[in-house]
Amino acid sequence: MKDIKRFDMRKKPKKEAFFLTPLAYLLSFPEVWKRHLKVNKTNMEGLKPPYILLCTHHAFVDFKVTTKSIFPHRANYVVAIDGFIKREWLLRNVGAICKRKFTNDTTLVRQIKYGLETLQYIVAIYPEARYSLAGTNAILPESLAKMVKLFKRPVVVLNMHGNYLSQPVWNLRQRKVPLEADMTQIITADEITVLETEEIKERIDQAFIYDEFAWQKAKGIKIKEPFRAEGLHSVLYQCPHCHEEHVMASKDSFLFCTSCGVSYEMGEDGSLYNHGGKSMFTHIPDWYEWQRQNVKDQIESGTYHFEDNVRIDWLPNAKGYIDLGEGTLVHDQNGFVLKGKHHDGTPFVLERPPLSMYGLHIEYRYFGKGDCIDLSTLDDTYYIYPLSKENVVTKLSLATEEIYKIKKASITNE
């Protein structure tokens, strides 16, 4: 293990190198202009850096929308370590701050503080820590409001629309969708010193509410690409008719159950239609939340349990993944337990108890290797691919969130 150098998380962020700024604009502006980006600014008049920018997270184009929204200013961006792979020099020099997902990282707090106070920059944070799965907002870390209070800087939320619809995480093929963003200063410099942490949390939570499929219908946007439902079964994995899990499949504009045969078509307006009978759900987020409730019921009844042999890729630094071969993964009410062997043959056990993770980062068909989750410590990140159980990572994500909520509530009520 000693011969592997870890990513230096303590290295101070920089201001963006002057010669890279034109490149950032060149990569961002043509894309957002082509897609008719409209930025609706509220309470932003006269606001200048430094301030905290909290952004919703939908697709890679988020960063281009953010670049346009904060123009002519630049920012330090908090970026997950996988974003640094093979391009650490570039990310460092555009001012990125590295983060391992879903870890309690005090170093990150110091880096953000440095960006705000010493560099006098905007610091852009994507606190959902992953792309939206069903086009709706994800759980936010409870520490976010406390951190915001600590820095005593204005807080702006950039709530983006159209990004998810144009390239949902379950199918990265591009769709023709216009872009829009609501940029709102939700806490001023004067307010941050007097507001209680709970009030700050309420403002952030409220500003982060979104439903991209409802937005699509409200705007009358039609998505006519014939492949618009392909991959949707990764998110909607349970049939609402026969209730079997991990049996859904999709092709072109259709989502169907391989167990009972029911078939839904995804219309151009984003709605679902069961042409052969009753539509149990027409709104994709409603189906997704129904699955969440079913997972919660399993957890509360004590029947939830996941176990599988897995393939493990290790990411200690930005040089790339190291194949660690096979191991085992267990997830239940006690959290995650990953067992494997490092490259030198040394066995390891990684345990992530429920209260250490409020959410879970998942990927679909990641680099063609399959669906995976990642688990991190402050020094290491492991990308974990189930080998025998298919289409399970969305359920693992939902279960992680619900177990956290249940454990948190039990402590609060004690």
Structural domains of the chain in order of their starting residue, each with its CATH number: 21-219 (3.40.1130.10), 232-301 (no CATH), 306-412 (2.30.29.30)
User: Rounded to whole angstroms, how far apart are CA atoms 220 and 37?
Assistant: 16
pTM of the model: 0.95
Q: With beta carbons less than 8 A apart as the criterion, state whether 383 and 396 touch.
A: no
Buried-state track 267-306, b at ≥16 Cβ within 10 A, e below 16: eeebbbebeeeebebebbbebbeebbebbbebbeeeebee
Smallest CA-to-CA distance from 293 within 278, 307, 305, 304 is with 304
Q: Residue 324: in which H helix or E strand, if any?
A: strand 322-332
Q: With beta carbons less than 8 A apart as the criterion, state whether 184 and 174 touch.
A: no
Taking residue 89's Cβ as centre, other Cβ atoms within 10 Å add up to 10
User: Rounded to whole angstroms, how far apart are CA atoms 102 and 375?
Assistant: 8
Q: For every one of its 414 residues, what pLDDT tens digit does the chain have, with 9 covering 90 and above?
A: 567 888 888 899 999 999 999 999 999 999 999 999 999 999 999 999 999 999 999 999 999 999 999 999 999 999 999 989 898 999 999 999 999 998 888 899 999 999 999 999 999 999 999 999 999 999 999 899 999 999 999 999 999 999 999 999 999 999 999 999 999 999 999 999 999 999 999 999 999 999 999 999 999 999 999 999 999 999 999 999 999 999 999 999 999 999 999 999 999 999 999 988 999 999 999 999 999 999 999 999 999 999 999 999 999 999 999 999 999 999 999 999 999 998 888 999 999 999 999 999 999 999 999 999 999 999 999 999 999 999 999 999 999 999 999 999 988 776
User: Rounded to whole angstroms, how far apart are CA atoms 105 and 251?
Assistant: 41
CA-only gyration radius of the chain, Å: 21
CA 96 and chain centroid, separation? 17
User: Rounded to whole angstroms, how far apart are CA atoms 229 and 253?
Assistant: 4
Smallest CA-to-CA distance from 209 within 151, 132, 147 is with 132
- What contacts 237, CB < 8 A, 6 or more positions away? 245, 246, 247, 248, 291, 391, 392, 394, 395
